[in-house]
Amino acid sequence: MAPMSATQKSQLDQLRPGRTGTAALTVGEEHTAARWGSGRAPVLGTPVLVALMEAAAVDCVERLLTDGQESLGVKIEIEHIAPTPLGLEVTATAELTEIDGRMLHFKVEARDAREVIGRGRHTRIVVDAARFRARAQAKLQAK
């Protein structure tokens, strides 16, 4: 990936550790482990928990990126420590903890109405959206 322009760099400079984002959902059948193939239990599936935590990180930073930039998840390490049954709301929070060039590091946590259900760390990278999409599309033409 090419280096960022001065404008893109100055936009990233607006991001500061401590900034937070959130995402929430009410657990329905479509969110269960049984539906996602991550078990048979009728509770929030870990793949959905991961997606919710990523959505909280996106909420934290995307609106501060310049036109043509986006962030992509590159690493996530979480513990799913408690079940959440159908009907309860889950809220994920991502806190930006470190900025290392284009790499954004987050502490993530999710809670239902009763307790913390998951926590961990997540890393995203800021990329040029058009360049990234062209690179992905090129895989279709490669033989």
- The count of residues in the chain is 143
Structure tokens at 50: 């991961």
Residue type, 98: E
Residues classed as catalytic: 46, 54, 80
Query: What's the sign of the alpha-carbon dihedral 61, 63, 64, 67?
Result: positive
Specify whether the CB–CB gap between 88 and 75 falls below 8 A: no
